[in-house]
Amino acid sequence: MNEIRNDWTREEIAAIYNRPVLELIYEAATVHRRYHETGEVQVCTLLSVKTGGCPEDCAYCPQAARYHTNVKVEKLMEVDEVLQHASDAKEAGSTRFCMGAAWREVRDNRDFDKVISMVKGVSSMGMEVCCTLGMLTSEQAGKLKDAGLYAYNHNLDTSAEFYNEVITTRNYGDRLDTLEHVRGAKISVCSGGIIGMGEKTDDRIGMLHVLATLPEHPESVPVNALVPVEGTPLEDQPKVSVWDMIRMIATARMIMPKAMVRLSAGRVRMNLEEQALCFLAGANSIFAGDKLLTTPNPGYVRDQEMFQILQLTPRKAHKEAVGNP
């Protein structure tokens, strides 16, 4: 039971997603228990090392140059400054540090050399180092791996069918190619998406289907609730229901049992009880710190309180998923 499968059908995934929600939570919690230590939550910190001015047109994103948001464009941060942030994050209990850049793709230039130095530096601190820099070639993935990169985040965001409604400056195939390059370089894959952009349930299922039928499941699947930002085309989207977050998390947990499922953007609008249900449904990772990339996130103090009340324990760095049940 619950063997790792890469041949899920859309119908099977839809049937899981649409189960009576309490039944779904129970089943996902059961799978979670078989593959993970319950109550253990990975704490990751994000840092935007290059903010704003992005040429892409992702409708949700405050960093796209073409939308008028409050995000100030900043050039790539200095290596020392980044390492200071990483060291602070480690001090505050994070075991994974993820550096994000508002780039369409990585270019082979001095900025990339700087990112390589950042990766080397963070990796030498004993943290799991992750980057999200846009599209990558195989060669660039290889260089990042050699520098000590542990994981690469590159989200599919939504279904192939809905993708063009959200982004027109690249296509779904480009995203999948980058994931292949990352996998090819033996870097841990982090890929998930966003709900609350006006997609249908079928699009959510479509995205989960693509992830769960990759030759290897991503080791990490972030589930983001849209953070609607003033000035972006999606600024007026209604708040995602917590039950939808729970269904996404639980379904991801059931079909990709070994993956870390990350309760990502959107926590700032969730109370403790709602987050507790997400952990019960199989989420076992969060972003900590008072900022995601550019938008607010619950700060360390609030999260510490949550860990205490829910008796959660932070996961150690570089830990393998528990083997077969």
Query: Site residues (CB under 6 A) for ligand DTB?
Result: 46, 62, 100, 132, 153, 155, 192, 222, 224, 227, 264-265, 292-295
Residue closer to ligand SF4 (CB basis): 53 or 93: 53
On whether the CB atoms of residues 184 and 244 are closer than 8 A, the answer is no
Shortest Cβ distance from residue 287 to ligand SAM (Å)? 11
Residue 167 binds to ligand SAM (criterion: CB under 6 A): no
Give the C-alpha separation, 240 to 197, whole Å: 9
19, 96, 130, 131: the catalytic one is 130
- Two structure tokens written together for 125: 């601190």
Alpha-carbon Rg for the chain, nearest whole angstrom, is 18
Q: How many residues does the chain have?
A: 325
Give the distance between the most distant pair of CA atoms in the chain.
Answer: 53
Active site residue 278: no
Residue closer to ligand DTB (CB basis): 62 or 206: 62
19, 175, 204, 262: the catalytic one is 262
44, 131, 190, 278: the catalytic one is 190
On whether the CB atoms of residues 59 and 233 are closer than 8 A, the answer is yes
Give the C-alpha separation, 276 to 286, whole Å: 12
Residue 46 binds to ligand SAM (criterion: CB under 6 A): no
On whether the CB atoms of residues 146 and 186 are closer than 8 A, the answer is no
Residue 227 binds to ligand SF4 (criterion: CB under 6 A): no
Residue 58 binds to ligand SF4 (criterion: CB under 6 A): yes
Give the C-alpha separation, 218 to 244, whole Å: 21
- Two structure tokens written together for 134: 């846009």
Residue of the chain from 134, 218, 228, 266 that contacts ligand SF4 (CB under 6 A): 134
Compute the C-alpha angle 234/236/238, nearest 5°: 105
Please choose which of ligand DTB, ligand SF4, ligand SAM, none residue 64 contacts, taking the beta carbon within 5 to 8 angstroms, the exact cut-off set by kind.
ligand SF4
Non-local CB neighbours of 231 within 8 Å, separated by 6+ positions = 62, 67, 68, 69, 70
Beta strand spans in 270-321 (E): 285-288, 313-314
Residue 130 binds to ligand SF4 (criterion: CB under 6 A): no
Shortest Cβ distance from residue 253 to ligand DTB (Å)? 16
Helix (H) or strand (E) holding 131: strand 128-132
Shortest Cβ distance from residue 220 to ligand SF4 (Å)? 18
What is the residue whose two structure tokens read 């989420």? Answer: 283
- Two structure tokens written together for 303: 């999260």
Active site residue 58: yes
Residue closer to ligand SAM (CB basis): 63 or 284: 63
Active site residue 262: yes
Residue of the chain from 27, 157, 199, 303 that contacts ligand SAM (CB under 6 A): 157
19, 44, 58, 204: the catalytic one is 58
Q: How many CA atoms lie within 13 A of 23 on its CB side?
A: 6
Please choose which of ligand SF4, ligand SAM, ligand DTB, none residue 267 contacts, taking the beta carbon within 5 to 8 angstroms, the exact cut-off set by kind.
none
- Two structure tokens written together for 273: 């009880």
Residue of the chain from 64, 147, 259, 292 that contacts ligand SF4 (CB under 6 A): 64
Q: Which residues are catalytic?
A: 54, 58, 61, 98, 130, 190, 262
For ligand SAM, the binding residues (CB under 6 A) are: 60-61, 63, 100, 102-103, 132, 134, 154-155, 157, 194, 224, 226-227, 229, 265, 293
